[in-house]
Amino acid sequence: MLSCKDATQLISRSMDTSLPIVARIRLRLHLRICAWCARYKQQLLVIRDTLRRADAAGDRPEERAGETLSEDARERIRKSLRNP
Amino acid sequence: MMRKAGPVDPTEWVDRYGDYLFRYAMLRLRDRSRAEDLVQETFLAALKVRDSFSGHSSEGTWLVAILKHKIVDHFRRQSREVPLPDEGLPDSPADEPFDANGHWTTGPAEWGGNPADLFRQKKFLEQLTKCLAGLSPNLANAFTLREIDGADTQEICKVLRVTETNLWVILHRARARLRDCLETHWLGKRPAEES
């Protein structure tokens, strides 16, 4: 039986590559009976999903409000473009 | 997606693309002044090669591609300045909340509400980026390339000059620590400490 410690390692790896068949089956069985590891996996996926959505919202200022170049930086960059 | 637009006067780039590029850099670098510097470098590099801009892609897409290179270069430099020890990452008992048999000592807590809706909450993203900024550069950069950019692991190994086995450990640690940090600060489960 796969331990939770080993399961979390496999969960992480399964997010980066496809697991060998035996490991995949062991993990699937473990997740079916272990609510904690299943929750762990779901939370890692929520983290990934949140970051990818935030990135995709980069050109929608209403969703990424407050994240703008400072006036100073803006001025500095303009100046450097005028006299490169 | 970035709206398609014809080439504009470079001094107008700042108003048209500046904030977009800044948000792109900020999410990946977690450091305001460094993000601003790389946006500036991007515009200056673009100015030099402006004649080679083919117009096949939008100007915004072209600028992001330049910025992306600059960010990866920055990660590459950083991995040289703070190399991983040969034996890999030091083991920290805090990384693995398991007992001697590998069972959870304290299992992951419920984050409340529908987990699939968490991304809509601005505070959640804020806390997540704070937690990410608290990771060591080795962990945070690998995590960023993998989770935000979706780079494949071989590519990341080349940039950060680590073996694939080390990268699995790095990514596992980064994910476990981020999850733990979110649980602590998002749920306020334990008294919040400033990292």
Report chain B residues whose CB lies below 8 A from the CB of A70.
32, 36
Q: What is the pTM of this model?
A: 0.89
Q: Are residues B105 and B176 in the same domain?
A: yes
Residue B86 maps to a domain: no
Q: How many residues does chain A have?
A: 84
pLDDT given at position B18 = 94
Partner residue opposite B20 with nearest CB, options A39, A53, A58:
A58
Residue B88 maps to a domain: no
pLDDT digits (tens, 9 = 90+) for B147-170: 999 999 999 999 999 999 999 999
Q: Are residues B136 and B159 in the same domain?
A: yes
What does residue B121 show for φ and ψ, rounded to 5 degrees? -90, 120
Instruction: Please count the structural domains in chain B.
Output: 2
pLDDT given at position B194 = 42
The CATH number of residue B19's host domain is: 1.10.1740
Residue B195 maps to a domain: no
CB pair distance less than 8 Å for B128 and A50: yes
pLDDT digits (tens, 9 = 90+) for B97-149: 898 889 999 899 988 777 778 888 888 999 999 999 999 999 999 999 999 99
Q: Are residues B97 and B182 in the same domain?
A: yes
Q: Are residues B105 and B137 in the same domain?
A: yes
pLDDT given at position B7 = 56
What does residue B122 show for φ and ψ, rounded to 5 degrees? -60, -40
Radius of gyration of chain B (CA): 20
Q: How far is CA B191 from CA B177, B185, B186, in A?
A: 17, 8, 11
* Parent domain of B110: 93-186
Residue B3 maps to a domain: no
Q: How far is A20 from chain B (nearest CA, A)?
A: 15
Q: Are residues B118 and B48 in the same domain?
A: no
What ipTM, to 2 d.p.? 0.92
pLDDT digits (tens, 9 = 90+) for B35-77: 999 999 999 999 988 877 767 678 889 999 999 999 999 999 9
Residue B2 maps to a domain: no
Of A59, A61, A72, A55, the closest CA to residue B40 belongs to A72
Q: Are residues B72 and B102 in the same domain?
A: no
Q: Are residues B120 and B177 in the same domain?
A: yes
Q: Are residues B66 and B150 in the same domain?
A: no
Q: What angle do CA B149, B164, A42 make, to 5 degrees?
A: 55
Q: How far is CA B131 from CA A11, B156, B157, in A?
A: 21, 21, 23
Q: How far is A4 from chain B (nearest CA, A)?
A: 5
Interatomic CA distance for residues B25 and B129, integer angstroms:
13
Residue B152 maps to a domain: yes
Partner residue opposite B43 with nearest CB, options A53, A68, A77:
A77
Q: Are residues B166 and B124 in the same domain?
A: yes
Give the per-residue SS3 of B63-98: HHHHHHHHHHHHHHHHHHHCCCCCCCCCCCHHHCCE
